[in-house]
Amino acid sequence: MGLRTMKRRRRENKTDYKLRLNLLKSGLDRIVIRRTNRYFIVQAVSSSEGQDRVTLGITSKELLKYGWDPKFSGSLKSVPAGYLTGLLMAKKLKKKEFVVDLGMARTIKGCRVFAVVRGLVDGGLKVSAGDVFSDEGRLVGEHMGEELKKMIASVRERIENGK
């Protein structure tokens, strides 16, 4: 950046200011998706004059309430868990048009954060996304064992039917 001092949050790889400015210019509320070492965090955020306000936030830990087996709680950051978290978020939101904010996450076709985006789209939200999703088999857990596949199907059915 030359002689200018780089902003602290950029230096710490926490904020991409150019991306944030473009997201704010869209005028739409944002769906912020973050992946931690254990969970997905999905938040609906509205911005006014540079101030962000979280209107609704959920984590993949909420899948435990919908029938996710606690003995598989270590897989709450998996592709199917991300998909179901996005689906749950879409069912809880009243407004239907958002822009997705992935932050500093690496965006490679088929990665786990795009499973959340696919869940949002399948849940009825209007989100602009190209062909970046995982294949359908991974979203429903075909690559996992039989017990996990049945549990994932059960959780999906409970989310779609409103518990």
| Sign of the dihedral through C-alpha 41, 33, 19, 52 | negative
Q: Domains in the chain and their CATH numbers?
A: 10-160 (3.30.420.100)
Give the range with max mean pLDDT: 16-20, 48-52, 82-86, 146-150: 82-86
Whether the per-residue pLDDT at 3 is higher than 60: the answer is no
Average pLDDT over residues 22-26: 70
Other beta carbons within 10 angstroms of residue 119's beta carbon come to 28
Per-residue confidence (pLDDT) for residue 5, from 0 to 100 = 66
Listed residue (90, 4, 76) closest to 44, CA to CA: 90
- Which tens digit of pLDDT belongs to each residue from 123-158? 899 887 666 666 777 887 777 888 888 888 899 899
Whether the per-residue pLDDT at 14 is higher than 80: the answer is no
- Which tens digit of pLDDT belongs to each residue from 69-106? 888 888 888 889 999 999 999 999 988 888 888 876 67
Q: How confident is the prediction for the chain on average, in pLDDT?
A: 82
d(CA 95, CA 93): 6
